[in-house]
Amino acid sequence: MIKPKTVKDSTITMTELVLPHYTNQLGKLLGGQLMHWIDICAAIASAKHTQHVCVTASVDRIDFIHSINLGDAVTLTASVNRVFNTSMDVGVKVYSESFKKGTRTHTNTAFLTFVSVDNNGKPVKAAEIFPETDEEKRRYEEALQRRENRLKNRTKA
């Protein structure tokens, strides 16, 4: 039996600096670059939780709330919201920080599904997650709703 873990056991924070080659002609961070960072941060949180390589199974939603500027620091925080056997729902929050202006802004939220795999790429069972705080419990319940919607939409395709 795999011992359940807490959400904080999976939490990962990474920080990137928005350099010119990450921006568009307006000096804003490219959405694709941010999606790449989100995917990496979520993969690391999943791997930390499962102690296995984890691969992206789906991206449910990425909301672009505010743009991110050249020179900003981007902080991404990811954690596992819920485990469904071999797959897990991972949430990522993104903040931009302008050191010149002294501001910190919540810019993006993303939800992804990852699958834990063994060395042969075969899915393996992941430890259950134990939400402790009210926010973690809310995210735990919302993860089930996202999964049900995803599975329902899959059968329509």
Is residue 22 a contact partner of residue 35, using CB atoms and an 8 Å limit?
no
Is residue 109 a contact partner of residue 94, using CB atoms and an 8 Å limit?
yes
Confidence of residue 155 (pLDDT cuts 50, 70, 90): low
Q: For residue range 39-87, what is the model confidence (pLDDT) as tens digits? A: 999 999 999 999 999 999 999 878 899 999 999 999 999 999 999 999 9
Q: What is the mean pLDDT of the chain?
A: 95
Q: Where are the domains of the chain?
A: 5-156
pLDDT score of 60: 87
Compute the radius of gyration of the chain from its Cα atoms.
16
pLDDT at 157 over 60: no
Sorted by sequence, the CB contacts under 8 Å of residue 127 that are 6+ apart come out as: 2, 3, 4, 5, 49, 50, 83
- The residues pairing with 95 across neighbouring beta strands, listed in sequence order, are 75, 106
Third-level CATH fold of 5-156: Thiol Ester Dehydrase; Chain A (3.10.129)
Sorted by sequence, the CB contacts under 8 Å of residue 5 that are 6+ apart come out as: 49, 127, 128, 129, 130
Average pLDDT over residues 12-27: 98
| Residue with token string 């691969």 | 55
pLDDT score of 104: 98
Q: Which two tokens stand for residue 103?
A: 């501001």
Report phi then psi at 85, rounded to 5: 130, -90
